[in-house]
A and B are shown apart, each in its own frame.
Chain A
């Protein structure tokens, strides 16, 4: 009978419209996609158009996305179209950039424009407190790129992917926003979620300011500060002396930025801690202990060394708890979106036709 199974599978696939399920995490700094065909990709959320005819001739492309756009930033009009995980308001070009970014993500997942046989169903994660108008903008940006679209809050997608569906607090610290979501056995409402607009970008800017104040002779860009943060960030005791190289009047010079890094990263802690404790205090008292024991930290900025430990220390104020850090924060949101996309029955997808 095995041959018959294979034959039936082939016949079934032939007669079935191919469905491609996608989970998309639109991040201010980095966006990722996970696809039901096994593709998992992440790109920097940058889009660039060649600035003139010469640049177009050199680059041989109409639009550049991600790392390619950053590496050629001198030849392109560079856009970082997602502010706090949402389409920047009031800029037509930013809206176009988001569309290009989404199209790129979908094509990375295997849905190239020539695949007309594919029916694409996507779940996109957005900041927890995204307004209706933001979601509408996103829907418009996705029109024609996917067949059906479900928009969910980013921490919910994370929770779903990790199956942390009850008595859990998800803290998703990205570049643009820090999203909180208490999972207590239902789809999270506004009361269960919180979004802070200080996150990774805030650390970058703070670090940049602190370095500029300490070493005014050094020529440091925000881009350099971000790279250093991604490599050396920490809270608490410094794990090492952080020495970086920056030009002083054109000459590469070494600087110790350990204190500045600590100060910049720890600047994030008070707001995150306060929000975490506040949300836990609003949970039904019978379940607070369980939630305290099930705090999950995700997102790229959540990778700051000892950040999870610092939050766990803060939980001691209210009886102690446990904070776990997600191992792969760059895909956990898109993986959760994909899980949602695959679990949603066809009838529900029909209702969400884009």
Chain B
């Protein structure tokens, strides 16, 4: 299904480009599919031939040198290294040699059911604050105010559901990302939800997206993470390095599930308001605040102030309440999923007990 949608998008882009070519008097472009195939083939050939040629020339040179020295050393085995340049890798920052030289085996994933996480304490983190305004919309809307208001509304709703809710800030104060994470860790939060509003360069777009901890190769996400992480004092390369140590395991899996619940609830609510809202999905990205927290953690971009209509709606308290209710709905869905995991686990236990009873009988 997603493939068809992607395919349709590509067709539309090509149709629009053909129209623009026609308007500007350019000749129709040759079939992009073919040219793309040719380019791919040419690149593949390049990346296969060049290493092979280099290797062959090395052998020839070493043979010549051996012959010149009068040595008749025989090459016993020749093993071409598999070319690793395809697909071409984007340039990355160099990982410090100390880390690069260490090799770790990839941890086996752990079934979340073996680590039951009861949802009691929820940490809400209204993004930005104090000197850090966050995104500022031309309509005068400031991200730090919007996130605080939505978080307060979500807190009130969650408290009605007998959760303990703590907020990293409940006023207009500056907090570093590390301070936020430390607050969450110190108070032994079960989950951490950081609330932000987005800015999308294409101001026609409206969408919601949710992030959990992980790496990314998407330049857009790198830019977004860098923007959100700018107060941490760390560079993206540093964060990547830290990420290697906390990467795998249950926390990431649980964060993803929490992210999916919140994203689904947010999108369903917003889509029922306007069908122009896009589901930008649940993605992994190295946001600092998600790295230092020790519990399942997500960062939700619950709205985007870059869109004029969205910004106007965000200026109304009722819309903020609506967003808060959607976030709470997502958290509650996640909570229910957890209890289902326990029920399954209990049922398995009972089943195994019965089985053992029968064996005894």
A-side residues, CB < 8 A to B, are 1, 4-5, 7-9, 11-13, 15-16, 132, 135-136, 139, 150-152, 156, 160, 163, 165-166, 184-187, 189-191, 340, 343-348, 350-352
Which of chain B's residues has its CB closest to A19's CB? B276
Q: Is the CB of A165 within 8 A of B202?
A: no
Partner of A4, one of B12, B14, B274, B322: B322
Known interface pairs A1-B325, A8-B319. Does A15 touch B20 (Cβ–Cβ under 8 Å)? no
Q: List 28 A-B contacts (CB under 8 A).
A: A5-B273, A8-B313, A8-B322, A9-B273, A11-B319, A15-B309, A15-B312, A15-B313, A16-B276, A135-B22, A136-B22, A139-B23, A152-B15, A165-B4, A165-B8, A185-B7, A186-B32, A186-B33, A187-B15, A187-B18, A187-B32, A191-B31, A344-B12, A345-B12, A347-B202, A347-B205, A350-B204, A352-B20
Residue-wise interface mask of B (1-36) relative to A, using a CB-CB cutoff of 8 A (1 in contact, 0 not): 000100111111111101110110100101111000
- Chain B residues with CB below 8 A from A352, complex form: 16, 19-20
* Contact, CB under 8 Å: A4 / B325: yes
B36, chain A: closest CB distance, angstroms: 9
Residues of B307-326 at the interface with A, using a CB-CB cut-off of 8 Å, are 309, 312-313, 316, 318-319, 321-322, 325
Q: Taking the complex as formed, is B272 at the interface, i.e. its CB lies under 8 A from any CB of chain A?
A: yes
Kindly name the residue among B15, B272, B274 whose own CB sees the greatest number of chain A CB atoms within 10 A. Answer: B15
Cα A65 to Cα B309 in complex, Å, equals 39
Q: Is the CB of A348 within 8 A of B13?
A: yes
Cβ distance B275 to chain A, nearest Cβ, rounded Å = 9
A354, chain B: closest CB distance, angstroms = 10
Chain B minimum-CB-distance residue to A192: B31
**Contact between chains at A347 and B15 (CB < 8 Å):** no
| Assembly CA distance A346 to B310 (angstroms) | 15
Contacts of A135 in B (CB 8 A): 22
Contact between A186 and B273 (Cβ–Cβ < 8 Å)?
A: no
**Distance from A104 Cβ to chain B, minimum over Cβ atoms (Å):** 24
A35 to B204, CA, bound (A): 22
Tell me whether B318 and A7 are in contact (CB under 8 A): yes
SS class of chain B's interface: helix, strand, loop or mixed?
A: helix
Complex contact A163–B313 (CB within 8 A) = no
B322 touches A345 (CB 8 A): no
Q: Is B269 an interface residue (CB 8 A)?
A: yes
CA distance A347 to B204 in the complex (A): 7
Residues from chain A with Cβ under 8 Å of B202 in the complex: 346-347
**Contact at A344–B204, with CB atoms within 8 Å?**
no
The 3 A-B pairs at the shortest CB distance, nearest first, are namely A187-B14, A346-B204, A186-B33
User: In the complex, A152 Cα to B15 Cα: how many Å?
Assistant: 7
* A-B interface pairs (CB < 8 A), number: 101
CB distance from A192 to the nearest CB of B (A): 8
In the bound complex, do residue A344 and residue B16 qualify as a contact, i.e. CB atoms below 8 Å apart? yes
Residue from B12, B312, B313, B318 within 8 A of A340 (CB atoms): B12
Query: Once the chains are docked, how many angstroms separate the CA of A158 from the CA of B20?
Result: 21
Q: How far is the CB of B73 from chain A (nearest CB, A)?
A: 49
List the B side residues contacting A350 at CB < 8 Å: 204
Q: Of A1, A151, A187, A345, which one neighbours B22 at CB under 8 angstroms?
A: A151
Closest to B27 in A: A132
Residues of B within 8 A of A190 (CB): 28
The residues in B between 297 and 313 inclusive whose CB is less than 8 angstroms from any CB of A are 309, 312-313
Beyond the given A11-B316, A346-B205, A348-B16, could you list 11 further A-B residue pairs with CB under 8 A, ordered by the A residue number? A5-B269, A5-B273, A11-B273, A16-B274, A16-B309, A151-B22, A186-B11, A187-B15, A346-B276, A347-B202, A348-B12
A112–B312 CA distance with the chains assembled, in angstroms: 28
Asked if B18 and A4 sit within 8 Å, CB to CB, the answer is no
Residues of A within 8 Å of B205, CB to CB, are 345-347
- Establish whether residues A12 and B273, one from each chain, have CB atoms under 8 Å apart when the complex forms: yes
List the B residue with the shortest CB-CB distance to A8: B273
Chain B residues near A7: list those with CB within 8 A.
318
A9 contacts across to B, CB distance below 8 A: 272-274
Using Cβ atoms and an 8 Å threshold, which residues of chain B touch A4? 318, 321-322, 325
Interface centre among B19, B25, B316 (most CB of A within 10 A): B19
Residues of B within 8 A of A191 (CB): 31
Tell me, in angstroms, the Cα distance from A5 to B321 when the chains sit together.
11
Contacts of A344 in B (CB 8 A): 12, 16
Q: Are B33 and A340 in contact (CB under 8 A)?
A: no
Across the two chains, which residue of chain B brings its CB closest to A342? B275
| CB closest residue in chain B, given A11 | B313
Does the CB pair B22–A343 fall under 8 Å?
no
Complex alpha-carbon distance, A135 and B313, angstroms? 40
A72 to B9 Cα, complex, angstroms: 46
Residues in chain B near residue A186, CB distance under 8 A: 10-11, 14, 31-33
Bound-state CA distance A305–B147 (Å) is 65
B9: chain A residues at CB < 8 Å are 343, 345
- Residues of B near A15 (CB, < 8 A) are 309, 312-313
- Chain A proximity of B74: nearest CB distance (Å): 46
Q: Which of B12, B204, B274 has the most CB of A within 10 A?
A: B12
Write out the residue numbers on chain A whose beta carbons fall within 8 Å of the beta carbon of B276.
16, 346
CB distance from B296 to the nearest CB of A (A): 26
Q: Tell me the complex Cα distance, A132–B24, Å.
A: 10
Bound together, the chains give a CA A350 to CA B202 distance in angstroms of 11
Tell me the bound Cα distance from A139 to B25 in angstroms. Answer: 13
Task: Pick from B11, B16, B273: contact of A351, CB below 8 A.
Answer: B16
Nearest B-chain residue to A163, judged by Cβ: B4
Q: Is the CB of B273 within 8 A of A187?
A: no
In the bound complex, how far is the Cα of B321 from the Cα of A348, in angstroms? 33
